[in-house]
Structure 1
Amino acid sequence: MKNQVQLITYVDRIAPSGLQELKQILDNELDTLFGGVHLLPFYFPIDGSDAGFDPIDHVQVDQRLGDWNDVKNIGEDYDIMADLIVNHMSAQSKEFKDVLAKGKASAYWDLFLTKESVFPNGLSESDRKKIYRPRPGSFFTEYSLADGSKVDFWTTFTANQIDINVHSEAGQAYLANVLQHFEDSKVNLIRLDAAGYAIKKPGTSCFMIKESFDFIDQLAKQANAKGMTTLAEIHTHHLTQVEVARKVDMVYDFALPPLILHTLFSKDVSALQHWLTIAPRNCVTVLDTHDGIGIIDVGPIDGKAGLLTAAQIDSLVETIHANTKGESLQATGAAANNVDLYQINSTYYDALGQQDLDYLIARAIQFFAPGIPQVYYAGLFATPNAMKLLSDTQVGRDINRPYLNKQDIQAAMQKPFVKGLCQLIALRNNSPAFNGEFSMQAAHSELKLHWQLQQDSATLSVNFTTKQAVIELTEQGSNRRIELDSLLVN
């Protein structure tokens, strides 16, 4: 995998005609910017109840986008990340419909988890209280079988997402089939979506338990044998994330986005400094994704101190709501059918009050932090909150999932901020220093991030009080100094 910036995007939301158009955009409008691309779910259907994360058929490319050959064609020139949706599949899948029709006589009965299969002696109140679910409501959804009997199926996320029994022969065959399609289509980085929820065991939280690590390790070995790297997608306490990183190929640095916001708002670098001292180095960094801005990743959990205190988190959340003029409030919590307990829904650009320099500083910190940086398409083009889409769908996360076309992209590429961001991306991709050693200095409101590879170096210095941010480069004996605010000049 290249040590270069990657793009995160839904195929159809920047390339309405599909994968071939996306390849053209990567090769032309976005030429040389990205070493790889995270193709958010492109399986059938892309427009299910959870924007593709509830596949009816995980090994069928939605025909509106193209086919596996189109995926492979992108993989000839770019690293490709794809989602292995480990925990569940759609209730509309042929497999689950067969279960509803035939019950235990179905060949797919063991593919799905039921309350009875996990708790054969019944679910006690004590066990129920231990189970962790990231959304309000029951862990189960009752479905009626054709014979009139009723069964409680495990549905961690929504009633349309039926949890898979990954230990069953059918579950293992299902995941192996997806991996084979990935290998055949030059996918080389696999995002293990919701892997922390895949293992259910009585008497536990059913989230990131010991057996979860064993399962992720087994799945990673299968992928590694096919030449693929795995990325664990887990929102949890920051120390758990550090522990997880020791046992997997790569993890997301989900603590970084809220910490950068906190630092810009409070002008206090201490929390960010502490995290960058202990953060995993085998990570992918983001500021924004198809989901909201994570809060749980920096907060206290179960008596364990967070990177931020409860009061600091309250201040962070309220500042985001104020900066978005209340738009994020309309998409977060109980609003707009939002069911996530741990995220604030807004574009990162709006979370910063559409302040171009603050946003450029945030991206510079991301690019200088350890890890492979990814930039979400809405963040790349600095699109504002998609309030009309939110109003139309009443899905909270759609506020940050706009539909764009080539004309929108071409217009966005002329924005001073986007031009400045593209220069930062080029710097991150091309400076040899980022293949070297990372170090950091920090005090009060000042932060210095430094990379050194033999005689080459790259340093970012930020004063959060004055908003002065400077990059200094030494490459092949020549020195260069870049004031970040100068990148915003046409």
Structure 2
Amino acid sequence: MNAINLQLRQKLSDHLHIIYQQVQPELAIVDCVDELLDIMQIAADAPSPDAYANHWSERDALMITYGDSLLAPQEKPLETLKNFIDEQLAGVINSIHILPFFPYSSDDGFSVIDYSTVNESLGDWQHIRALGEQYRLMADLVINHCSARSYWFENFIKQQSPGKDYFFTASPQADLSAVVRPRTNPLLQAVETQAGTRHVWCTFSFDQVDLDFRNPEVLKQFVRIVRLYLDQGVRIFRLDAIAFLWKVPGTSSINLPETHEVVRLLRTLIEHAEPGAVIITETNIPNQENLSYFGNNNEAHWIYNFSLPPLLVQALLTGNGTHLKRWMMTMPPARNGTTYFNFIASHDGIGLRPTEGLLNDDELNALTHALEQFGGRISWRTSADGSPRPYEANIALYDALKGTIAGPDNFNFERFICAHAIMLGLEGVPAFYIHSLLATGNDYQRMEHSGHNRAINRHQWQKAQLDSQLADPNSQHARVFNALKRLIGIRAEQPAFHPNATQFTLHLGDSIFAFWRQSMDRQQNIFCLSNLAHTAQDVPLSAINLVCTDNWRELISGETLDPQAELLHLAPYQTVWISNGC
């Protein structure tokens, strides 16, 4: 047995010991390591991955979408989706996150019935593989819970294998007061089984029953699922709701050490099986807790920048970037081998928990009030003291930016493009929700029909109707789509926009959000300035200290800048990328 294989076996053994030493002290660690290696088909001579390798660049941009966001007659939605990307986004978007595409019973896919098949209403594995052959494919590992209609849970009720001991149960008399809740529904659900009444832990809903990773067989099942997804072309694994994975009554049951160790184990397995694969943790929690999922370069490759959406929206609605700037100054540069996953909108709402400690109650109330005025809905959670707290704002991003705190105005388009220009310039990999690319507005009919607030931002387009809108240069959809594609294209050519390139915050006043990026070879500098206000602003060029011997160009307009000029004039919500070339 070679040295690399011995090192890998020891690493897996260490992971398993940390995870199971308290709950499964009799676990045969050596046998479990052998089984995990066999399931993942990791060769004895598998190369040891470089923890500091960046498998991404400035050319990466990702689109987030449901498999059926676009519909066309006589076509499976996954086929329609691929046709649209090929026709409209080839060379612009190189990665795609298809939200859960499995058979499900609720929550638009996140209550999975069967992890091994594709929802036949969307297509089949051939459609998934076709997308994965042309684009870097991201898929959800819905690991915290599964559907109450799944085969596993049916077996739990029957007390048959596999499944009879796959789900987390607790006594209703246990002290669960410290458990952090993302929802307001009761935590435990009474279920009648062949062994009597069991109270099943349900973090999100009674249809989403939490799995019990204290049982090593549950871990093995998910390793099998990971191997299947790799074989079908998935290269980015989104660990859904991972922060809630390990539960201990009497604790917060969030971000527990065993949860972090499971992430480390999955990373060890995945990157030895496919060195270029990426793990991203979906942890919609306060900022410092979120950052902990980088670990010591041994957990997530990417983490969601969950504080960015609410703080950026708040900055643009108030015309004041103070909180956005303060937050960015506290963000550590991601080490090589890790980076941030930047987004402003997703299939979920604009998370508000990540503003905890960043916005005070009055500022949060002003933000939520403005978003409600723009047609949004607020979803709530139960806090530790039992009181309701805002959890997320459910609203289409285009409508969320239709005005200021004072009310709607005529700068919807400019404000929306400004938000994405800021995101595109920041350290990290940018991701665009399909309905942001398309400037889709609030879908009240879908929300009312489903009875769920999140459906307001889950519109389904008929592709023919969308094609017609995009062919009309005056439609809001075409204007936004073309503007964003152009910005993505400009970004892709700039080494200073590499996800791990240097970033420093600049201080140019409350209404100007500014930062400096420098390429990793230090050849290119880009100064990114955005006017957050609905009035024009003049910025002294001396404040950004342009070197007179360099040739400076504004990348978005293409205009050459005179570094000796006194002032830079910024129109309302205008962004400039000032570069010395490379």
Shared fold (TM-score, shorter chain, > 0.5): yes
For the pair 1:257 / 2:309, whether they are aligned, the reply is: yes
Tell me the distance in 1 between the aligned counterparts of 2:440 and 2:469.
8
Question: What's the secondary structure of 1:131's corresponding residue?
Answer: coil
For the pair 1:203 / 2:254, whether they are aligned, the reply is: no
For the pair 1:376 / 2:433, whether they are aligned, the reply is: yes
Once the two structures are TM-superposed, the CA of residue 26 in structure 1 deviates from its matched residue by 1.3
**2:530 corresponds to which of 462, 472, 479:** 462
For the pair 1:144 / 2:192, whether they are aligned, the reply is: yes
Q: Residues 7-34 of structure 1: CA distance to partner in whole angstroms, max 9, x if unpaired? A: 0000111245222222221111222220
Does the 8 Å CA contact 1:412/1:418 hold for their aligned counterparts?
Answer: no
Tell me the distance in 1 between the aligned counterparts of 2:243 and 2:115.
19
For the pair 1:76 / 2:120, whether they are aligned, the reply is: no
- 1:482 alignment partner in structure 2: 556
Once the two structures are TM-superposed, the CA of residue 315 in structure 1 deviates from its matched residue by 1.1
Does the 8 Å CA contact 1:14/1:22 hold for their aligned counterparts?
Answer: yes
Unaligned runs of 5+ in 1: 117-121, 300-305
- 2:391 alignment partner in structure 1: 342
For the pair 1:286 / 2:343, whether they are aligned, the reply is: yes
Once the two structures are TM-superposed, the CA of residue 36 in structure 1 deviates from its matched residue by 0.2
Once the two structures are TM-superposed, the CA of residue 478 in structure 1 deviates from its matched residue by 7.5
- 1:403 alignment partner in structure 2: 460
Tell me the distance in 1 between the aligned counterparts of 2:269 and 2:173.
33
Tell me the distance in 2 between the aligned counterparts of 1:15 and 1:216.
36
Question: What's the secondary structure of 1:190's corresponding residue?
Answer: strand
- 2:150 alignment partner in structure 1: 93
**2:163 corresponds to which of 108, 111, 124:** 108
**2:86 corresponds to which of 27, 30, 48:** 27
Q: Which moved more, 1:348-357 or 1:426-435?
A: 426-435
Amino acid at match of 1:165: D
Q: How many residues align?
A: 460
Once the two structures are TM-superposed, the CA of residue 293 in structure 1 deviates from its matched residue by 0.5
Taking a change above 3 Å as real, the CA distance of residues 192 and 19 of structure 1, as seen in their structure-2 partners, is: same
Taking a change above 3 Å as real, the CA distance of residues 144 and 106 of structure 1, as seen in their structure-2 partners, is: same
For the pair 1:11 / 2:64, whether they are aligned, the reply is: no
Does the 8 Å CA contact 1:461/1:469 hold for their aligned counterparts?
Answer: no
Once the two structures are TM-superposed, the CA of residue 308 in structure 1 deviates from its matched residue by 1.3
Tell me the distance in 2 between the aligned counterparts of 1:143 and 1:113.
12
**1:425 corresponds to which of 474, 488, 512:** 488
Question: What's the secondary structure of 1:51's corresponding residue?
Answer: helix
Amino acid at match of 2:217: A
Among all aligned residue pairs of Structure 1 and Structure 2, give the percentage whose two residues are the same amino acid: 27
Counterparts of 1:289-328 in structure 2, within 5 Å, are 289-299=346-356, 306-322=357-373, 324=374, 327-328=375-376
Question: What's the secondary structure of 2:131's corresponding residue?
Answer: helix
Amino acid at match of 1:42: F
- 2:262 alignment partner in structure 1: 215
Once the two structures are TM-superposed, the CA of residue 361 in structure 1 deviates from its matched residue by 0.6
Tell me the distance in 2 between the aligned counterparts of 1:54 and 1:394.
16
For the pair 1:242 / 2:291, whether they are aligned, the reply is: yes
Tell me the distance in 2 between the aligned counterparts of 1:296 and 1:307.
10
For the pair 1:362 / 2:419, whether they are aligned, the reply is: yes
Tell me the distance in 2 between the aligned counterparts of 1:422 and 1:340.
37
Taking a change above 3 Å as real, the CA distance of residues 400 and 183 of structure 1, as seen in their structure-2 partners, is: same
- 1:160 alignment partner in structure 2: 207
Tell me the distance in 2 between the aligned counterparts of 1:235 and 1:458.
31
Tell me the distance in 2 between the aligned counterparts of 1:312 and 1:340.
14
CA RMSD for the aligned pairs?
Answer: 2.7
Question: What's the secondary structure of 1:342's corresponding residue?
Answer: strand
Q: Residues 182-214 of structure 1: CA distance to partner in whole angstroms, max 9, x if unpaired? A: 110121111100111110113211111222212
TM-score, normalised by the number of residues in structure 2: 0.74
Amino acid at match of 1:463: N
TM-score, normalised by the number of residues in structure 1: 0.87
Once the two structures are TM-superposed, the CA of residue 348 in structure 1 deviates from its matched residue by 1.0
Q: Residues 114-138 of structure 1: CA distance to partner in whole angstroms, max 9, x if unpaired? A: 115xxxxx743xx311111111132
Does the 8 Å CA contact 1:234/1:252 hold for their aligned counterparts?
Answer: yes
Unaligned runs of 5+ in 2: 1-54, 382-387, 404-411, 558-569, 575-582
Does the 8 Å CA contact 2:531/2:571 hold for their aligned counterparts?
Answer: no
Tell me the distance in 1 between the aligned counterparts of 2:421 and 2:178.
41
Does the 8 Å CA contact 2:97/2:137 hold for their aligned counterparts?
Answer: yes
- 1:353 alignment partner in structure 2: 402
- 1:441 alignment partner in structure 2: 506
Tell me the distance in 2 between the aligned counterparts of 1:362 and 1:142.
46
Q: Which moved more, 1:162-171 or 1:389-398?
A: 162-171
Amino acid at match of 2:164: W
Does the 8 Å CA contact 1:14/1:405 hold for their aligned counterparts?
Answer: yes
Does the 8 Å CA contact 1:438/1:452 hold for their aligned counterparts?
Answer: yes
Does the 8 Å CA contact 1:381/1:412 hold for their aligned counterparts?
Answer: no
Question: What's the secondary structure of 1:57's corresponding residue?
Answer: coil
Question: What's the secondary structure of 2:165's corresponding residue?
Answer: helix
Once the two structures are TM-superposed, the CA of residue 171 in structure 1 deviates from its matched residue by 0.5
Tell me the distance in 2 between the aligned counterparts of 1:153 and 1:467.
57
Q: Residues 24-80 of structure 1: CA distance to partner in whole angstroms, max 9, x if unpaired? A: 2111122222010001000113xx311010111011111222222321221122111
Once the two structures are TM-superposed, the CA of residue 258 in structure 1 deviates from its matched residue by 0.8
Does the 8 Å CA contact 2:176/2:251 hold for their aligned counterparts?
Answer: no
Question: What's the secondary structure of 2:461's corresponding residue?
Answer: coil
Report the structure number with the largest CA radius of gyration: 2
- 1:178 alignment partner in structure 2: 225
Amino acid at match of 2:100: P
Amino acid at match of 2:365: D
- 1:303 alignment partner in structure 2: none
Tell me the distance in 2 between the aligned counterparts of 1:151 and 1:202.
15
Does the 8 Å CA contact 1:447/1:461 hold for their aligned counterparts?
Answer: yes
Tell me the distance in 1 between the aligned counterparts of 2:251 and 2:573.
51
Does the 8 Å CA contact 2:531/2:573 hold for their aligned counterparts?
Answer: no
Tell me the distance in 2 between the aligned counterparts of 1:108 and 1:333.
32
Tell me the distance in 1 between the aligned counterparts of 2:322 and 2:419.
16
Taking a change above 3 Å as real, the CA distance of residues 401 and 69 of structure 1, as seen in their structure-2 partners, is: same
Tell me the distance in 1 between the aligned counterparts of 2:248 and 2:380.
29
Tell me the distance in 1 between the aligned counterparts of 2:133 and 2:257.
38
Once the two structures are TM-superposed, the CA of residue 408 in structure 1 deviates from its matched residue by 3.4
Taking a change above 3 Å as real, the CA distance of residues 481 and 55 of structure 1, as seen in their structure-2 partners, is: closer
Does the 8 Å CA contact 1:345/1:396 hold for their aligned counterparts?
Answer: yes
- 1:119 alignment partner in structure 2: none
Q: Residues 140-174 of structure 1: CA distance to partner in whole angstroms, max 9, x if unpaired? A: 11112257x32111111111111111231321122
Q: Residues 305-340 of structure 1: CA distance to partner in whole angstroms, max 9, x if unpaired? A: x11111111111111122x1xx213x6449xxxx99
- 1:393 alignment partner in structure 2: 450
Amino acid at match of 1:188: R
